[in-house]
Amino acid sequence: MSNNITNHNKIVTIRCGDVGFNSYIIKNTKTRQGVIIDTPDDPVNIMNACNDITVEGIFITHTHPEQLQGLHPIREATGAEVWISAVDANVFNYFTPINSQRPENPFEGESRIEVAGMEIQAIATPGHTPGSCCYLVDNNLFSGETLTSTNGPGCYTPIETLNQTIQSVVDKLFTLPKDVVVYPGLGDPFSLANSEHEYKIFKNRYPSALHGNVLWRTSQE
Ligand SMILES: [Zn+2]
């Protein structure tokens, strides 16, 4: 578990399962409310970390099982509503039969959502899944698996989804303020500006048939 404080919003990270998928809790220390971003398979630890706040919302970056396996018990325990892109909500049950209850708040495209006394900006970044999105709170970007390290998006097999992800990262994320800190679905936080710097090096040597595990710096070496 790690902590980071910006203004009066405090970010708590819970590493879940053997692989260590991240669940983030953003706590508004003024109102003692908060939201959870992604619910991997460690609902007890996620809930324990919420014992000093009222959970007002659950935000899902995309509908892969790794982000959803803890959703049902957390939803039951908190009564919090679920936000997710409408595109991914359409395949919600397909990926996770356990989550038979539909999300309360599917949203279209870009959205500004006010909950728990904070403003959450949803940014549509299709690619990793058709409805993948990132959430910006203050200058903190919760990127799911759209951008998982300074060094690039990581594992992709079909070239089409990789290209779509790169397009989303370049058009929607690298246009954000330079001081944004990225909190990925897997791994440690990093600077968005550093990732953009690495991307520019990568772009100069962009291979024509990229696939597999893409890291900006090493893909052609
Ligand atoms: Zn995923």
- Encode 141-166: b = buried (16+ Cβ within 10 Å), e = exposed: bbbbbbbbbbbbbbebeeeebbebbb
The candidate with the shortest Cα–Cα distance to 134, out of 78, 101, 175, is 175
Output the CA 74–ligand 1 centroid distance in Å: 20
The candidate with the shortest Cα–Cα distance to 13, out of 47, 49, 44, is 49
Topology, domain 2-220: Metallo-beta-lactamase; Chain A (3.60.15)
Per-residue pLDDT at 2 exceeds 70: no
Average confidence (pLDDT) over 168-175: 94
Average confidence (pLDDT) over 114-135: 95
Q: Is residue 134 within 8 Å of residue 195, measured between CB atoms?
A: no
Confidence class for position 203, pLDDT limits 50, 70, 90: confident
User: Could you give the CA distance from residue 186 to residue 108 in angstroms, rounded to a whole number?
Assistant: 25
Output the CA 145–ligand 1 centroid distance in Å: 5
Q: Is residue 139 within 8 Å of residue 4, measured between CB atoms?
A: no
Average confidence (pLDDT) over 190-194: 94
Average confidence (pLDDT) over 58-72: 93
Give the predicted TM-score (pTM) of the model.
Answer: 0.89
Output the CA 196–ligand 1 centroid distance in Å: 21
Output the CA 128–ligand 1 centroid distance in Å: 6
* Residue 123 confidence (pLDDT): 98
* Residue 209 confidence (pLDDT): 47
Per-residue pLDDT at 91 exceeds 90: no
* Residue 5 confidence (pLDDT): 55
Per-residue pLDDT at 153 exceeds 80: no
Identify the three-state secondary structure at position 127. coil
Domain ranges for the chain: 2-220
Per-residue pLDDT at 154 exceeds 90: no
How many percent of the chain have pLDDT more than 90?
66
How many percent of the chain have pLDDT more than 70?
82
H-helix or E-strand containing 76? helix 71-78
Output the CA 36–ligand 1 centroid distance in Å: 17
Q: Is residue 103 within 8 Å of residue 136, measured between CB atoms?
A: no
* Residue 144 confidence (pLDDT): 95
* Residue 220 confidence (pLDDT): 46
Output the CA 81–ligand 1 centroid distance in Å: 21
Would you state the torsion angle of the CA atoms of residues 72, 48, 187, 189, taken in this order, to the nearest 10 degrees?
120
Confidence class for position 14, pLDDT limits 50, 70, 90: very high
Output the CA 62–ligand 1 centroid distance in Å: 7
* Residue 213 confidence (pLDDT): 58
Average confidence (pLDDT) over 164-193: 94
Output the CA 8–ligand 1 centroid distance in Å: 30
* 171 Cβ contact list (under 8 Å, min separation 6): none
Output the CA 6–ligand 1 centroid distance in Å: 27
Output the CA 185–ligand 1 centroid distance in Å: 8
